[in-house]
């Protein structure tokens, strides 16, 4: 599909490079609010590089297919730019503005260049719009991806942070659970608890659910699974920190906790655990 735009766009980019850059810079600086995080010199460097790369890419006669190999370096530059903006905490608007603010200067040049040729103007404008829209969407997509990576990493870290297994006494482990229990978290909790049971040769594990906001059938089932797995390893489990509302919910849901020792507070559970491991009297004698 060779048309006037394949020739006109690279030509305009080349001829008016300096002019375009100045006007584009003004547009960009205006789109950022005062006290923005970006420095003008840095932005100018990025813009200059982008314009010259775009000019080289369109030179080959392919203007609108941004996934072609000729656009490789343009894509790399945009990828780096939106990734770094995503990590620095720019808004999606500010990131996409990099591309979209080029429209006004570019269209003005096209109009001047194509004056007197209405058909040509329409064709070239359409190609330019298509090109800039595609580049803009590409920027937004990369931005979104980089944000998602940040979220995924944080989730992972949260998962590690929120499941500590604490050794309370010889042979007694405590597992203070905080936050909502979903399948992925329960799996991590179960694995780390069982691993610690092996390492510390614990006989009793206290699962404290004071920090668990709600208990539904799924959560209760996860808890029961953890208790059963610990029992298969030869350790007894005590569930503590059941708040009055949660006790009511558990009974209303018909969850059967009869095989599990439950205590209202962690202190009660700890006392029970000391008795179970035969360390209760010793503790009293010592104090």
Q: Contact positions toward another protein, by CB under 8 A?
A: 187, 190-191, 194-195, 197-198, 201-203, 225, 228-235, 278, 281-282
Give every strand in the sheet of 236-240, ordered side by side. 166-169, 172-178, 204-211, 236-240, 261-262
What is the spatial distance between Cα 24 and Cα 153, in angstroms, rounded to a whole number? 36
d(CA 196, CA 198): 5
* Closer of 93 and 233 to another protein (Cβ): 233
CB of 281 to another protein, least distance (A): 8
For the CB of residue 236, give the shortest distance to another protein in the complex, in Å: 10
Decide whether 87 or 198 has the Cβ nearer to another protein.
198
Distance CA 214, CA 220 (A): 10
Which of 156, 259 has the CB closer to another protein?
259
Output the smallest distance, CB 63 to another protein, in A. 56
Q: Using alpha carbons, select from 156, 155, 28, 138 the residue that is nearest to residue 94.
A: 28
Residue with tokens 């694995």: 191
4 vs 229, beta carbon nearer another protein: 229
Least distance (Å) between residue 153 CB and another protein: 26
Sort residue 32 into left (φ over 0), alpha (ψ -120 to 50) or beta.
beta
Pick the closer one to another protein by CB: 81 or 190: 190
Q: How far is the CB of 238 from another protein (least distance, A)?
A: 16
Six token digits for residue 85? 């903006």
């Amino acid at each position: 599909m060779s048309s006037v735009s394949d020739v006109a766009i690279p030509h305009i980019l080349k001829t008016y490079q300096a002019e375009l850059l100045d006007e584009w810079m003004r547009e960009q600086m205006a789109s950022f609010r005062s006290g923005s995080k970006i420095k003008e010199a840095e932005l100018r460097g990025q813009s200059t590089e982008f314009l010259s790369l775009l000019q080289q890419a369109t030179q080959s006669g392919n203007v609108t297919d941004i996934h072609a190999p000729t656009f490789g370096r343009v894509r790399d530059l945009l990828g780096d730019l939106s990734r770094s903006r995503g990590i620095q905490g720019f808004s999606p608007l500010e990131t996409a503005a990099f591309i979209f603010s080029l429209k006004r200067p570019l269209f003005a040049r096209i109009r001047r260049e194509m004056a007197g040729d209405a058909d040509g103007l329409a064709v070239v404008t359409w190609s330019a719009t298509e090109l800039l829209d595609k580049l803009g969407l590409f920027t937004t997509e990369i931005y979104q991806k980089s944000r998602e990576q940040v979220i995924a990493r944080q989730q992972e870290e949260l998962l590690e942070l929120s499941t500590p297994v604490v050794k309370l006494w010889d042979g007694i482990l405590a597992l203070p659970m905080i936050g909502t229990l979903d399948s992925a978290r329960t799996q991590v909790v179960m694995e780390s608890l069982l691993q610690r049971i092996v390492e510390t040769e614990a006989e009793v594990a206290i699962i404290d659910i004071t920090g668990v906001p709600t208990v539904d059938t799924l959560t209760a089932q996860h808890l029961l699974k953890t208790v059963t797995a610990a029992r298969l390893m030869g350790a007894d489990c005590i569930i503590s920190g059941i708040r009055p509302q949660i006790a009511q919910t558990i009974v209303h849901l018909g969850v059967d906790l009869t095989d599990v020792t439950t205590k209202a507070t962690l202190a009660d559970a700890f006392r029970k655990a000391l008795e179970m491991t035969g360390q209760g009297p010793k503790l009293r004698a010592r104090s």
